[in-house]
């Protein structure tokens, strides 16, 4: 899975990498905060 590979490489989602799509697995969207929730939106 892309998420696990990125995290294993030390990359943070969404701070370092934006994941644009996912396979709609139940609950996968709840595993990661969006940019708006973690304050990154202010940098846009």
* pTM for the predicted model, two decimal places: 0.46
Q: What is the CA radius of gyration of the chain?
A: 11
- Identify the CA nearest to 34 among candidates 21, 18, 23, 11: 18
* Choice between 43 and 18, residue whose per-residue pLDDT is larger: 18
What's the number of domains the chain is made of?
A: 1
Do the Cβ atoms of 32 and 3 come closer than 8 Å? yes
Residues spanned by the domain of 34:
1-44
pLDDT, tens digit (0-9, with 9 covering 90-100), for 13-37: 889 998 887 666 677 667 666 555 5
> How far is Cα 14 from Cα 3, in angstroms, rounded to an integer?
11
Q: Which two tokens stand for residue 33?
A: 């905060």
Residues in the chain: 44
């Amino acid at each position: 899975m892309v998420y696990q590979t990125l995290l294993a490489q030390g990359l943070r989602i969404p701070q370092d990498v934006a994941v644009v799509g996912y396979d709609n697995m139940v609950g996968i969207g709840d595993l990661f905060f969006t940019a708006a929730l973690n304050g990154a939106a202010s940098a846009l």
